[in-house]
Amino acid sequence: MAESVYKVIELVGTSPESWEKAAVAAVKRAGKTLRDLRVAEISQLDMQLKDGKVESYRAKIKVSFKYEGDGVARGRIVIRTTKSNS
């Protein structure tokens, strides 16, 4: 098997409904400009509040894709969550 290099970028998706939809929104948006995403790892979840109420859910994710010098990415999407110690 040939050696591979993967590029990792960090994105924040938002949703007024849930963290899951926020993460999916980030992956969908990344998929519009990057081809064949490899892995999306949720690194942080938080909420924006307004007047003491949840205004939106935010999911910070790290997305990786196979890097090739010509800018081509190949692969598949896998979403993993990380446990928070809070």
- Ordered structural domains, the chain, with CATH: 7-81 (3.30.1660.10)
Give residue for tokens 């690194």: 43
Between CA 27 and CA 11 the distance in angstroms is 8
What was the pLDDT predicted at 17? Answer: 97
What was the pLDDT predicted at 76? Answer: 45
Between CA 41 and CA 19 the distance in angstroms is 13
Give residue for tokens 């949840």: 54
13 within 8 A of 58, measured Cβ to Cβ: yes
pLDDT in tens, 23-72: 999 999 999 988 778 889 999 999 999 999 999 999 999 999 887 765 54
Q: Is 26 or 83 the better-scoring residue by pLDDT?
A: 26
Assessment of whether the complete model's pTM goes beyond 0.85: no
> Which tokens in the block code for residue 54?
């949840």
What was the pLDDT predicted at 61? Answer: 97
